[in-house]
Amino acid sequence: MSQNTYGLRYDEFGKTSEILVYSRGTRVMANNFLNKGTAFSEQERVDLGLSGSLPPSVRPLEKQVLDSARKVQDKDSDIEKFIYIRALFDRNVTLAHALIASDIERYMRIIYTPTVGLACQDYSSMFRTANGLHFHPGNIDQAEDILRRYIHRDIRVAVVTDNQGILGIGDQGAGGIAICLGKLMLYTQGAGIAPWHCLPVSLDVGTNNQDLLDDEYYLGWRHQRITGAEYVDFVQSFARAFRKIFPNALCQWEDFSKQNAFAIRDSYLHDLISFNDDIQGTGAVTLAGILAAMKIKNERLVDQVFLVHGAGAGGVGIADQILAGLRERGLSEKEVLQRIYTLDRHGLVVNNRQLEPYKEHFARDPQELDWFNSEQDGDLLNVVRKAGVTVLIGTSGQAGCFTKEVVEAMLGNTDRPVIMPLSNPTVKAEAIPEDIYSWTGGRALVATGSPFAPVRCGDEEIRIGQGNNVFVFPGVGLGVLTSGAREVLPEFFTAAAHAVAAAVSDDDLGKGILFPSVAELRDISLRVAQAVGRSAIRQGVCRPCVFSSYWHENNEEKLDLLVERMRWQPEYLPLAAL
């Protein structure tokens, strides 16, 4: 794509009001940000040199969406639907997003989890059009020049992965960039960050997936993963270049391995405006579900006992966010740590065995547990019983490990246990919602990480709330950008959790539902962004918003309006021929 094809004109809120077009004819239709297909008006066809290039009838966006929806419906499988929507995005961004927005609940399953996992696995064979950037050891020394190509797009959000920890399917090499593409589509859907401001980035440091290395059609860097100092230098080279070219943009780290996820997040806390969604986004959305459960139970957060089964990046991120939520309510660090238990594949995480550094903070001292005498005492069922667990969270990827016996043991600790099998995809969920309801007589408060069909409970059909990070990360991104926050603070995610919990309707709470519907994504993202922006003001980390001329002071009401007005919607913009 030529940098001279178009330019952007903004209103006072930093939203694109008009696209300046420097080229003519088929080059206009070849640009997916400019292309309107059959919706180009008669005057635009004259001004842009398109006369005769299109059939004479003008078809408006609304009819284009209906036609595209019909074509998607005709596809035989979700992966074919994914391919169609991605191809539509590659030729007409606005139409693709208008289609997705017309039924976000239906299309999110296609553009993101679970279908995007298949897209990662089939990336090389499905490859059609280049999207985003691929850095590898052969070009990382050119990172600044490569990023500078995109400076005309005013990049505001980048989602960056090293492709190693994808959606429960592990190392997918170059295919991991499909996750970045999906996340950025959700930034646009939820937060209204225009697609031309979004940049997917793959840090292709090789792959240890032997099937990919043996595949003659694999498109990634065909080497074993680099590690140690070489890996650190590679990531640092990217981070330095990104900070120099896009100093005000948000960098979301995505799908790194457990230890790298924490190391990279912590290394760049103050050097980049960045966060890790697998850690902090997962933690915030889980805390939101727990806060909603407390409203239903009419109990205090500080009176609960928490068990996180699965001490990876997501699990420890959840424990971190629960800690923040309890500290917010006045408990000391020591008091909080006595209420949180984590389990890994060896059982209860205790400090008398060798641990990865990121697990150490939540490791329990066996000397303080009068019921823990040997490793066998640290199994899931025993910890639930002996610790008096009232909130059980699954991030282990061990399908079915929340057995009937475990779930019934929860009823011995509380009348309304909170049970959240969050592992993705659906086949790896720790329990099936229908079983949990059956085993508890409908008393459990249940949420999942993957989408599940509603469950009949008595005479009523209950929607299963999905603890999806999409409720958090788009709003966090927009709140950070509008407030001009210098860094992404832990307090932002606590504020986001409260905003998501507040979005659960009284009717849903009355039915025991812990999360709002994905259909409300745009409104929830607005609430989260405003809460995050206000948190940035209170924490004193704001700067004047570089993307807008509207807000230059710590005024919460003006910030709320900026958050609302900056958001792009999938509607065709005026094109000014120059």
| φ, ψ of residue 552 in degrees (nearest 5) | -135, 15
pLDDT at 377 > cutoff 50: yes
Does residue 228 surpass a pLDDT of 90? yes
Q: What is the CATH number of the domain that holds 71?
A: 3.40.50.10380
Which residue in the block uniquely carries the two structure tokens 């065709």?
A: 572
Q: What pLDDT is recorded for position 1?
A: 38
Decide: 453 and 464 in contact? Cβ < 8 Å: yes
pLDDT tens, residue by residue, 304-341:
999 999 999 899 999 999 999 999 999 999 999 999 99
Percent of the residues in the chain that have a pLDDT greater than 90, as a whole number: 88
Among the listed residues 84, 112, 268, 550, the single catalytic one is 112
Would you say residue 5 lies in a domain? Answer: no
Is the pLDDT at 188 greater than 90? The verdict is: yes
Whether the predicted pLDDT of 512 surpasses 60: yes
Q: Is the pLDDT of residue 347 over 90?
A: yes
Q: Are residues 66 and 126 in the same domain?
A: yes
Residue where a domain terminates, one of 222, 256, 290: 256
Is 21 within a domain? no
Each as own residue / partner, the long-range contacts of residues 80-86 (CB below 8 Å, 24 or more positions apart, any chain) are 81/110, 81/115, 82/110, 82/111, 82/115, 82/116, 82/118, 82/119, 83/126, 83/128, 85/110, 85/111, 86/111, 86/119, 86/128, 86/181
Same domain for 138 and 249, yes or no, is yes
Instruction: Determine which one of 15, 81, 183, 258 is catalytic.
Output: 183
- How many domains are there within the chain? 2
The DSSP secondary structure of 135-201, one letter per residue, reads: E-TTTGGGHHHHHHTTGGG---EEEEE-SSSBTTTB--GGGGHHHHHHHHHHHHHHH---GGGEEEE
Whether residue 211 is predicted with pLDDT greater than 50 in this model: the reply is: yes
Position 162 scores a pLDDT of 96
Same domain, 248 and 286: no
Task: Report whether the peptide linkage leading into residue 357 is cis, meaning its omega lies within 30 degrees of zero.
Answer: no
- 18 belongs to a structural domain: no
Please check whether residue 115 is in contact with residue 85, taking contact to mean a CB–CB distance below 8 angstroms. Answer: no
CA gap 38, 67 in Å, rounded: 12
What is the tens place of the pLDDT at every residue in 3-22? 568 999 999 999 999 999 99
| 76 within a domain of the structure (yes/no) | yes
Q: Is 372 within a domain?
A: yes
- Does residue 452 lie within any of the structural domains? yes
238 and 294 together in one domain: no
In the predicted structure, residue 2 carries a pLDDT above the cut 70: no
500 has a pLDDT exceeding 70: yes
Q: Which residues of 425-445 are buried (b: 16+ CB within 10 A; e: fewer)?
A: bbebbbbbbbbbbebbebbbb
Q: Which range has highest mean pLDDT (49-63, 110-124, 157-171)?
A: 49-63
Q: Which residues on adjacent β-strands are paired with residue 209?
A: none
User: What pLDDT is stored for residue 217 in this prediction?
Assistant: 95
Tens-digit pLDDT profile for residues 356-365:
999 999 999 9
Of residues 192, 315, 317, 285, the one with CA closest to residue 504: 285
Cβ-contact 321, 493 below 8 angstroms: yes
Instruction: Tell me: cis bond preceding 574? Omega within 30 of 0 counts.
Output: no
- The verdict on residue 216 lying in a domain is yes
Q: 294 in a domain, yes or no?
A: yes
Half-sphere exposure of 530 (CA within 13 A, CB side): 20
Is position 112 annotated as part of the catalytic site?
Answer: yes
Same domain for 347 and 305: yes
Do 218 and 338 reside in the same domain of the chain?
Answer: no
pLDDT, tens digit (0-9, with 9 covering 90-100), for 244-302: 999 999 999 999 988 898 899 988 878 899 999 999 999 999 999 999 999 999 999 99
Q: What is the C-alpha to C-alpha distance for residues 448 and 558, in angstroms, rounded to an integer?
A: 36
For helices 490-502 and 282-297, give the axis angle rounded to 10 degrees. Answer: 40
Give the Cα separation of 107 and 433 in Å (integer). Answer: 23
93 and 194 both lie in a single domain: yes
Same-domain check for residues 130 and 232: yes
| Cβ-count burial 202-224 (b if 16+ within 10 Å, e if not) | bbbbbbebeebeeeeebbbbbee
Interval 445-468 mean pLDDT: 92
The pair of three-digit structure tokens given for residue 60, joined into one six-digit string: 């408006």
Domain co-membership, 247 together with 299: no
- The model's pLDDT over 539-551, given as tens digits with 9 standing for 90+, comes to 999 988 899 988 7
Instruction: Respond yes or no: is residue 183 known to be catalytic.
Output: yes
Residue 209 has pLDDT above 90, yes or no: yes
CATH number at residue 389: 3.40.50.720
Contact (Cβ atoms closer than 8 angstroms) between residue 285 and residue 393 = no
State whether 123 and 237 are in the same domain: yes
Task: Check residue 179 and give left, alpha or beta (phi > 0: left; psi -120 to 50: alpha).
Answer: alpha
Angle between helix 104-111 and helix 78-91 axes, rounded to 10 deg: 90
> Which strand ranges, in their side-by-side order, compose the sheet holding 575-577?
6-10, 16-21, 575-577
Q: Kindly indicate the confidence band of residue 431, based on its pLDDT and cuts at 50, 70 and 90.
A: very high
Task: Quote the CA–CA distance of 406 and 430 in Å, as a whole number.
Answer: 11
Do 331 and 433 share a domain, yes or no? yes
Whole-number average pLDDT of the chain: 95
Task: Work out the number of other CB atoms within 10 angstroms of the CB of residue 456.
Answer: 11
Of 475, 473, 439, 431, the C-alpha closest to 457 is: 439
Residues 403 and 489 in one domain: yes
**Which structural domain range is residue 405 located in?**
278-547
| DSSP secondary structure of 202-251 | EE------HHHHH-TT--S--SPPP-HHHHHHHHHHHHHHHHHH-TTSEE
Tokens of 358: 């990121």
* DSSP annotation string for 22-64: ---THHHHTSTTT--GGG--HHHHHHTT-TTTS-SS---HHHH
Question: How far is 104 from 551, CA to CA, in rounded Å?
Answer: 31
